[in-house]
Amino acid sequence: MWYNNRMAHTNRFAVIAIAVCAAATTVGAQPAGPERESDDETVTVTLPAPDTAGSVTVERAISERRSVRQYAPGALTVAELGQLLYAAQGVTETRTGYRASPSAGATFPLELYAAVGDVDGLSAGLYRYVPASHELVSVSADDVRAALHDAALRQPMVRDAPVVLVMTGVTARTAGRYGERAERYVAMEAGHASQNVYLQATALGLGTVAVGAFDDRSIGQVLGVSADEQPLYLMPVGRRE
C-alpha cells in the first residue's frame, strides 16, 4: 500500500533513508538561490540542492536521535533548512514524484511550512515548501513564531528556535482512494516525515522535537489555511547546546 516500498520492499526504503538522513554538516556552506517575485508578488526562494551523500550513517543518526527542547544561540543556514525540508517531503525520484517519506497510494496529503526567524540569507516570515521544485514560497512576511508559541500552550522551544517547521494534512487527498481509513494513513505519514526530520537534524548537528500539544484552530489561523487542512505537528529546530 505504501507507494515507494509497498511495505515489503524494505531494502529499497533503507537506501532512501540513508541518502536522506545522513547528510554531512558541510551542507551549511551552500547559498540559497535568488529570491524572485511572481506575477502576484509572491516571493519564491530556490533552495540549495540537497545533499544525498553525507558522512553520518543512518545507524549513527538513529543512535543519537533525541528530542531537543533547548537550543544554542545561532542561526541556521538556508542549506540546512532546505535539507530538513527535503528529508521530510523532498522528491527523491523525479520520474514518479516519489518522496523521501512513504505516502499511502502516493496521495501526498502533507503540506510543510517553515516559520523562519533566524536563517542566514533568508528573510524572516512564513514559507510553504514546494517539493517538486525544492523551493519556498512566501505566505507571510511576518515572523509568526510568537503566534505559534501562543497557540502551542506557550511552550518555550516554539518561541526560541530559529525555525519552526509546521506539518499539516489534507485528508481529502487520501480519502478519495481509501475512504474512512484516510485519517489513519495521514497520521501515519506525518510520523514517517517527522522521524526523517529528527534523523536529518541529528546528522546536521541540530536538534528538534515533535510537538503535538497546540490549539488546532489557532495554528490554522496563523498559517491562513482552510478547515480542510489540519495541523499535525510543530517541529522547532535549532543548534544543539
Sketch out the chain's domains with CATH numbers.
Answer: 10-239 (3.40.109.10)
Query: According to the model, what pLDDT value does residue 86 have?
Result: 98
Q: What is the pLDDT along the chain (241 residues), one digit of tens a residue?
A: 444 443 333 333 333 343 444 444 445 556 666 555 555 578 999 999 999 999 999 999 999 999 999 999 999 999 999 999 999 999 999 999 999 999 999 999 999 999 999 999 999 999 999 999 999 999 999 999 999 999 999 999 999 999 999 999 999 999 999 999 999 999 999 999 999 999 999 999 999 999 999 999 999 999 999 999 999 999 999 999 9
The answer to whether 61 and 24 are in contact (CB under 8 A) is no
34-85 pLDDT tens trace: 555 555 578 999 999 999 999 999 999 999 999 999 999 999 999 999 999 9
Contacts of 168 (CB under 8 A, 6+ apart): 110, 111, 112, 113, 223, 225, 229, 230, 231, 232
Residues 135-150 pLDDT 10s: 999 999 999 999 999 9
pLDDT at 24 (0 to 100): 42
Q: How many CB atoms lie within 10 A of CB 7?
A: 9
Q: How far is CA 128 from the centre of its chain?
A: 10
Enter the C-alpha cell of residue 8: 515489503
> If DSSP codes are grouped into helix, strand and coil, which group holds residue 156?
helix
pTM of the predicted model over 0.75: yes
The pLDDT value given to residue 30: 60
Mean pLDDT, the chain, rounded, equals 89
